[in-house]
């Protein structure tokens, strides 16, 4: 039997591999070199479009490669362990900035802040203590902090994850399942974990108007599920007025997306709030 020839990586693959290696090498120390920053995307209430808070999103300006997508940054940081320090910084920085907006911006006192948490951070039994310290130092009301966990974070060891989520909830913070509907067993997470919020993945919104799409029924069912469990539902990735109107008719009350604002630099947040908050 003829042996198959060894696999020769195609140009694109080879390039991607080299880029991943470069990112892994460079992510260590990126924080200390001042290459990381945060952008803040508003979460709004429908139908008014008034902000209820923001989600903090990592940005990496690489000296050679320019802006690196957040997902690539996060996986490089997870693979090297750099995510622990980076994640701590994200939490500290975003909680501190939100504290300032709540006290300094007219009408801003009830805003909340969403922070994405990596599975690597959740694996650390000391993580709830880190969150407690950050809250104590900043003085932010714990219920103004929403920790966003993707289903890949919530992974197989349910007992351990449940204990971790419970420890976070005991601090008074809110916990969301992010990108809901894209993982494998969302319903067991809803059954077993004391989460407060579901973030409906943006792929369902993008697919809403495709002829024959099942996304409208799925979004409607998720809203029903959230409602009967007493959870908040935030729909992500709303880009058009048509999507907003379909979602509004379904009863969506919380959303985020380019329709209202792209992620903003922190210096632009007070100004954006100024034009959007009731006074």
Task: Give the footprint of ligand C2E on residues 46-65 (CB under 6 A).
Answer: 57-58
Q: Which does 226 bind (CB under 5 to 8 A by kind): Mg ion, ligand C2E, none?
A: none
Kindly tell me which residue out of 51, 53, 99, 257 binds ligand C2E, with binding defined by CB under 6 A. 257
**Token pair 């969506």 in the structure block, residue:** 252
SS3 at position 95 = helix
Q: Hey, which residues does 235 pair with through a beta bridge?
A: 200, 255
Please state at what angle helix 269-276 crosses helix 83-104, rounded to 10 degrees: 40
Count CB neighbours of 115 within 10 A: 25
In the complex with Mg ion, the residue whose CB is nearer, 94 or 116, is: 116
Task: Give the footprint of Mg ion on residues 25-44 (CB under 5 A).
Answer: none
Shortest distance in whole angstroms from residue 18 CB to ligand C2E? 22
| CA–CA separation, 122 and 154 (whole Å) | 8
Task: Give the footprint of Mg ion on residues 99-118 (CB under 5 A).
Answer: 116
Name every residue whose Cβ is closer than 8 Å to that of residue 15 and which is 6 or more positions away in sequence: none
Kindly tell me which residue out of 202, 220, 253, 276 binds ligand C2E, with binding defined by CB under 6 A. 202
| CA–CA separation, 195 and 169 (whole Å) | 8
The verdict on 147 binding ligand C2E (CB under 6 A) reads: no
**Which one of the spans 163-171, 213-221, 227-235, 253-261 is the region binding ligand C2E (CB under 6 A)?**
253-261
Both structure tokens of 256: 């985020």
The number of angstroms, rounded, from the C-alpha of 18 to the middle of its chain's C-alpha atoms is 28
The verdict on 74 binding ligand C2E (CB under 6 A) reads: yes
Kindly tell me which residue out of 118, 138, 161, 186 binds ligand C2E, with binding defined by CB under 6 A. 118
- From the list 153, 25, 143, 42, the residue with the least C-alpha distance to 87 is 153
Kindly tell me which residue out of 263, 266, 269, 273 binds ligand C2E, with binding defined by CB under 6 A. 263
Q: Residue 162 burial by CB count (10 A; 0-12/13-18/19+): exposed, middle or buried?
A: middle
Kindly tell me which residue out of 41, 186, 197, 215 binds ligand C2E, with binding defined by CB under 6 A. 41
The verdict on 258 binding ligand C2E (CB under 6 A) reads: yes
Task: Give the footprint of ligand C2E on residues 205-244 (CB under 6 A).
Answer: 236-239
- Cis check: omega of the bond before 47, within 30 degrees of 0: yes
The verdict on 69 binding ligand C2E (CB under 6 A) reads: yes
In the complex with Mg ion, the residue whose CB is nearer, 19 or 45, is: 45
Residues making contact with ligand C2E (CB under 6 A): 41, 57-58, 69-71, 74, 87, 90, 116-118, 148, 150, 178-179, 202, 236-239, 256-258, 263
């Amino acid at each position: 039997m003829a042996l198959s020839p060894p696999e020769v990586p195609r140009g694109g693959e080879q390039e991607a591999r080299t880029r991943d290696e470069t990112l892994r090498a460079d992510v260590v120390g990126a924080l200390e070199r001042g290459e990381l920053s945060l952008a803040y995307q508003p979460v709004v209430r429908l139908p008014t479009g008034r902000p209820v808070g923001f989600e903090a999103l990592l940005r990496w300006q690489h000296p050679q490669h320019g802006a690196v997508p957040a997902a690539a940054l996060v996986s490089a940081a997870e693979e090297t362990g750099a995510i622990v320090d980076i994640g701590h910084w994200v939490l500290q920085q975003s909680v501190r900035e939100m504290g300032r907006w709540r006290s300094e911006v007219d009408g801003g006192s009830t805003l909340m802040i969403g922070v994405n948490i990596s599975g690597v951070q959740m694996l650390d039994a000391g993580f709830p203590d880190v969150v407690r310290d950050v809250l104590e130092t900043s003085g932010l009301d714990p219920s103004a902090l929403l920790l966003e966990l993707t289903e890949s974070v919530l992974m197989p060891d349910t007992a351990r994850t449940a204990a971790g989520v419970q420890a976070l909830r005991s601090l008074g913070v809110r916990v969301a399942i992010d990108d809901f509907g894209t993982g494998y067993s969302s319903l067991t997470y809803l059954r077993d974990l004391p989460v407060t919020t579901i973030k409906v993945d943006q792929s369902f919104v993008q697919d809403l108007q495709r002829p024959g799409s099942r996304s409208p029924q799925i979004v409607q069912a998720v809203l029903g599920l959230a409602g009967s469990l007493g959870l908040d539902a935030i729909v992500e990735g709303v880009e058009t007025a048509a999507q907003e109107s379909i979602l509004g008719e379904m009863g969506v009350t919380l959303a985020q997306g380019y329709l209202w604002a792209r992620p903003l630099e922190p210096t632009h947040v007070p100004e954006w709030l100024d034009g959007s908050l009731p006074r």
